[in-house]
Amino acid sequence: MPRPESELLPPKPEARLRIYAYSIADDAHAGLLKVGQTTQDVKVRVAQQLKTAAIENYQIVIDEPADRPDGSVFTDFDVRQRLKQKGFDKSTLEWMRCTVADVRTAIAELRVNKEYEGTHHLDFPPRREQQDAIEKTYAYFQDRWSEDADAFPEFLWNAKMRFGKTFTTYKLAQKMRAKRVLVVTFKPAVEDAWENDLRTHVDFDGWQYLSKAAGGDPTSVDPDRPLVFFGSFQDLLGKDKAGNFKPKHKWLTEVTWDLVVFDEYHFGAWRDTAKELFDGEDESSKKRATAQEFGSDLDTFTEEREVNGLDEDAIIPIKARSYLYLSGTPFKVLNEGRFIEEQIYNWTYTDEQRAKAEFVQQHPSEPNPYAALPEMRLLTYQMPDELIAIANQGEFDEFDLNAFFEAKGVGEQAAFTHKNDVQKWLDIIRGNYAPTQVDALKTGTRPPFPYSDVRLLPYLQHSLWMLPSTAACAAMENLLAESQNAYWRDYRVVNVSKPSVGVGLAALPPVRQAIGAGFDTKTITLTVGKLTTGVTVPQWSAILMLRNLNAPETYFQAAFRVQSPWVIRNPNGDDPHEETIFKPVSFVFDFAPTRALRQISEYGRGLSPETPNPEKAVEELVSFLPVLAYDGSNMTQVDAAGILDMAMAGTSATLLARKWESAVLVNVDNQTLKKIMSSDAAMNAVMNIEGFRALGSSVFETVVNKSEAVTKTRKEKGDDITSTEKKELTAEEKEYKSKRKQIQEKLIKFATRIPAFMYLTDYREHTLKDVITKIEPELFRAVTGLTVADFELLVSLGVFNASHMNQAVFAFRRYEDASLSYTGVESHEGLRRYGLYDTVVAVDERPAI
């Protein structure tokens, strides 16, 4: 059911925190000033306060904004604290014995000199979902250690931005009584949150924090107090000229870490080097296949590697008792099947928005802890044919953003290859392109282009434009400044892709300086990959996707930058639970509709990999993330079925076949191989798969034993390993990796037979569970060589990746139905779907209505 337009495009609130002071002309208030704050009109707020006391002899003497040039704000409490520090007395409540000039001086000082109230002053408990994550993770760790005291359990938090992963991680470490916590990331920009949470919350008073940026001497650490060390992979990589690890890293290898945390795990921790850093083993063929299947957009890491000359093969072996992986979009990992259900805690965008809606229903009179988290909107635009023709290419024969925004040159010399067409695009998005204006007159509708619709313009006051290259960013900066683009002069353009801006957090100050408080300025931030993960800019309310992004991880990590809350808490100074929300919704604008809807489709299915019908997963997502599509004449809301149909547009049988040849369909890690070895039924089932009898059942034991032996030796020897020993280990590695590859190939070959079975059977499978529970066991055995029971057993052990196979099954059936429907043939006549989960029944068995 489409939502009303007023709900899809709500007005943006106009408010600003202000500091005020007033006096009352009577003997009781002589020499006193009341200092307060509000987001209302100051006159209205003061009148509200004094109306009940029938006081009319007052005068408002100060009314000033409470924001700083960097966008932060100070409060009435800060002003009164500053006055107390200067020796002025606090009378009662919010009254100060001082002059107007004294208050103005305090405000001026706070505006240019941010001072903190001290360390460890915040005191709040975990939210319900945070406590659930802690309890589930702790219980899993305890279960694994009770089974094997030497185990090093792993757990994944699939938790979106704003979940509070840093604070919740520290609370988990506290519950574990962990004394040594190592936080590692590919994104050094996230350190600000890790350090700030540890230093400001009362629960972590006495904890120690070390990092390259914060400094600190590892030799002076108090062994009786918890220690957190924050490091980036970029910092941990590297050896000296003699091939030895640098002395500053040596101490890391001498500590057994109670908890190792991989932050921003989606970004790079599946890479070979990251895995080798901790357990000495890589599965490079599998990782490469994953990258090919989903795409890899590690632009920022690549940029930092090139700038700093990092050697990915120079790594430090780390010892740990447990591992925690943090990501808001860990779809690659989930598709690999590395983590089973009991090792995962999910808190997704859908969970968050559902909790937000349910809280209103269940606790209507209480402050909603999720209220400040804006709901997102995706608006896609079909470009005019003349622009599509410029860059209509790629795998799906669709509008290619990278080709359209191709540019050459550096700095002021940079220019777009298709400059005239990019100029037309700039005119289109502000509703000033003649052909689209003519079309609007013919249809009687005016489509909501980003920079022309009065409902959207307030949300585009501060936006992020994501372009395909540094040259494209420079070219856009130059084009926006040309004389014909006078409209854009109101916007300050910040190009963070410039090498001079720096990487990581270094790119953030220019943006914050340009935005300021966000009320009196307009900005456009141009980026390739910087600031698209791990940072918060509250004033960003919209992002324009102007480059091809193949992976939903990268797409939605960037999109979620604009979902950060922009809020003032306790705006009137008298209710700590009250909030003024400046951003009720946020927007993603995309100009390659098919690719954008494919991202939504994959993201929705990735959020709910176990949902019986993927269409239901997408349907749930778009109930909280509405999609509006402009087709050249009208803007309409697209439902889940429409999204999937458009996402599948251009899909070929060749592409579908490739899905069934992917290495991510099967799991051949040691944990899975051990499960096979420990089950006679599973071993017998595998031996029935073509090619395995030639390998022999001992191949599993060989791979597991040799890989674990190599890992153990590398950890024990560390820097002391000799060149001879290293050669021997390398030979051992080649042997077990070759055998692991053979196991993988045999399992993939089996997987390619499943589409043949689906094509032959008359039942409408949507998921792998459908495939293995339908009532044609003999046909399944004839086609695949396994009984349904054998296959079901191997799936339950994780040998076959159920979530990824579900997507392949769904894509196959949707493609088959579309192909047959196009020819006028209804596939599988006599069957139909109905009901909540699209249950499959014969027509003569359908229930009476």
Sheet-wide strand order for 635-637: 492-495, 523-527, 462-466, 542-545, 585-590, 375-381, 627-630, 635-637
Number of structural domains in the chain: 4
Residue 559 belongs to a domain with what CATH number?
3.40.50.300
Tell whether 409 and 499 lie within a shared domain. yes
- For residue 259, the cross-strand partners are 181
The DSSP bridge pattern shows strands 256-257 and 180-185 to be unpaired
Question: Could you tell me which residues come within 8 angstroms of residue 190 by beta carbon, excluding any fewer than 6 positions away?
Answer: 263, 264, 534, 535
- What are the counts of helices (DSSP H) followed by strands (DSSP E) for the chain? 36, 30
Nearest by Cα to 398 from 646, 657, 603, 658: 646
* Domain extent at residue 238: 128-347
Cβ–Cβ under 8 Å, residues 231 and 183? yes
- For residue 408, the cross-strand partners are 415
Residue 641 lies in a domain: yes
Tell whether 210 and 288 lie within a shared domain. yes
Residue 117 lies in a domain: no
What is the distance between the alpha carbons of residues 751 and 662, in angstroms, rounded to a whole number? Answer: 9
* Helix axis angle, 640-648 to 802-822, nearest 10°: 80
- For residue 661, the cross-strand partners are none
- Tokens encoding 314: 């120079």
Residue 487 lies in a domain: yes
Residue 365 lies in a domain: no
Q: Is the dihedral of CA 69, 71, 77, 82 positive or negative?
A: negative
Cβ–Cβ under 8 Å, residues 538 and 547? no
DSSP label of 318:
-
Residue 429 lies in a domain: yes
Q: Please state, in angstroms and as integers, the Cα–Cα distance from residue 239 to each residue in 61, 231, 232, 519, following that order.
A: 64, 16, 15, 49
The residue among 290, 314, 347 that closes a domain is: 347
Residue 603 lies in a domain: yes
User: φ and ψ at 536, to 5 degrees?
Assistant: -130, 120
Cβ–Cβ under 8 Å, residues 467 and 477? no
Tell whether 320 and 384 lie within a shared domain. no
Nearest by Cα to 230 from 246, 212, 218, 217: 212
The residue behind tokens 């659930």 is: 132
Local structure of 569: helix, strand or coil = strand
Q: Return averaged pLDDT per consecutive 10 residues of the chain, 849 residues in all.
A: 76 88 91 92 90 84 88 88 86 83 88 57 82 97 90 91 90 97 83 84 90 85 94 70 66 89 71 46 35 34 36 57 88 70 90 92 88 93 84 65 95 96 94 66 69 94 97 98 95 94 83 92 95 87 93 86 88 79 94 86 74 74 88 78 62 49 75 89 88 85 86 71 73 85 85 65 54 63 79 83 64 51 42 31 34
The residue behind tokens 């997507």 is: 807
User: φ and ψ at 417, to 5 degrees?
Assistant: -60, -40
Tell whether 698 and 775 lie within a shared domain. yes
Nearest by Cα to 469 from 302, 593, 292: 302
Look up residue 20 and give its amino acid.
Y
- Tokens encoding 426: 């700039």
- Tokens encoding 669: 């890690």
Look up residue 200 and give its amino acid.
T
- End-to-end alpha carbon distance in the chain: 22
Burial category of 354 from C-beta neighbours within 10 Å (exposed 0-12, middle 13-18, buried 19 and up): middle
The DSSP bridge pattern shows strands 208-211 and 180-185 to be unpaired
Strands (E), 98-217: 154-159, 180-185, 208-211
Nearest by Cα to 528 from 510, 508, 549: 549
pTM, full prediction? 0.70
Nearest by Cα to 182 from 279, 323, 314, 277: 323
What is the pLDDT, as a whole number, of residue 367?
Answer: 84
- For residue 37, the cross-strand partners are 19
Residue 357 lies in a domain: no
Residue 7 lies in a domain: no
Look up residue 812 and give its amino acid.
F
Q: Please state, in angstroms and as integers, the Cα–Cα distance from residue 619 to each residue in 600, 615, 643, following that order.
A: 10, 6, 9
Q: What is the DSSP string of 416-433?
A: ETTHHHHHHHHHHHTT--
User: φ and ψ at 580, to 5 degrees?
Assistant: -105, 115
Tell whether 485 and 601 lie within a shared domain. yes
The DSSP bridge pattern shows strands 542-545 and 585-590 to be parallel
The residue behind tokens 């692991």 is: 740
- Tokens encoding 439: 């079309």
Tell whether 624 and 743 lie within a shared domain. no
Nearest by Cα to 322 from 190, 153, 452: 153
Cβ-defined contacts of 752-756 (< 8 Å, 24+):
752/657, 752/660, 752/661, 753/783, 753/784, 753/785, 754/660, 754/784, 754/805, 754/809, 755/656, 755/657, 755/660, 755/812, 756/783
The residue among 650, 685, 704 that closes a domain is: 650
What is the pLDDT, as a whole number, of residue 243?
Answer: 58
- Tokens encoding 752: 């390619």
Cβ–Cβ under 8 Å, residues 59 and 23? yes
Tell whether 199 and 281 lie within a shared domain. yes
What is the distance between the alpha carbons of residues 121 and 114, in angstroms, rounded to a whole number? Answer: 16
Local structure of 492: helix, strand or coil = strand
What is the distance between the alpha carbons of residues 462 and 491, in angstroms, rounded to a whole number? Answer: 9
DSSP run (H or E) holding 97: strand 95-97
Tell whether 542 and 607 lie within a shared domain. yes
User: φ and ψ at 408, to 5 degrees?
Assistant: -135, 160
What is the pLDDT, as a whole number, of residue 583?
Answer: 93
What is the distance between the alpha carbons of residues 784 and 798, in angstroms, rounded to a whole number? Answer: 18
Q: What is the largest CA-CA distance in the chain?
A: 102
- For residue 579, the cross-strand partners are 569
Cβ–Cβ under 8 Å, residues 532 and 557? yes
Nearest by Cα to 27 from 49, 60, 57, 52: 57
- Tokens encoding 452: 């022309």
Tell whether 108 and 143 lie within a shared domain. no
- Tokens encoding 268: 């790079």
Tell whether 68 and 100 lie within a shared domain. yes
Tell whether 699 and 632 lie within a shared domain. no
Nearest by Cα to 160 from 134, 130, 140: 130
The DSSP bridge pattern shows strands 567-569 and 627-630 to be unpaired
Look up residue 305 and give its amino acid.
R
Tell whether 702 and 557 lie within a shared domain. no
The residue among 87, 112, 137 that closes a domain is: 112
What is the distance between the alpha carbons of residues 688 and 695, in angstroms, rounded to a whole number? Answer: 12
Cβ–Cβ under 8 Å, residues 538 and 568? no
What is the distance between the alpha carbons of residues 766 and 831, in angstroms, rounded to a whole number? Answer: 14
Cβ–Cβ under 8 Å, residues 827 and 816? yes
Cβ–Cβ under 8 Å, residues 377 and 585? yes
